[in-house]
Amino acid sequence: HLDSALIRPGRIDFQAYLGHCNEDMIERMFKKFYNDVSDEMAKNFVEATKKLEKTISPAELQRHLIYYKLDPHEAVDNVHSM
């Protein structure tokens, strides 16, 4: 929880709880990072994340996708590193 002085009006005007990623969010983020990726590859990425059997935060997913930003195949192949 943040100190109330940090989130007072004028500093923070909107708070949003993102929670953990669901399958739809994972797929949409993957497609957003890799514009020309096929639906099949995006689904493969989602399936690979499901095999981790853990929850993934949006920040964790973003970090992974940024790390492999030049190669979606590497992002799929190295999903275990999340």
Residue found under tokens 């275990």: 80
* DSSP state letter for 52: T
pTM recorded for the entire structure = 0.80
Q: Residue 72, Cβ neighbours under 10 Å: how many?
A: 22
Per-residue pLDDT reduced to its tens digit, 23-66: 999 999 999 999 999 999 999 999 999 999 999 999 999 999 99
Identify the band that residue 5 occupies on the pLDDT scale cut at 50, 70 and 90.
confident
Q: Residue 59, Cβ neighbours under 10 Å: how many?
A: 10
Whole-angstrom Cα distance, residue 41 to residue 20? 22
Q: Could you tell me the CA-to-CA distances from 28 to 2, 11, 23, 33 in Å, in that order?
A: 29, 30, 9, 9
Q: Any idea where the domains of the chain sit in the sequence?
A: 23-81
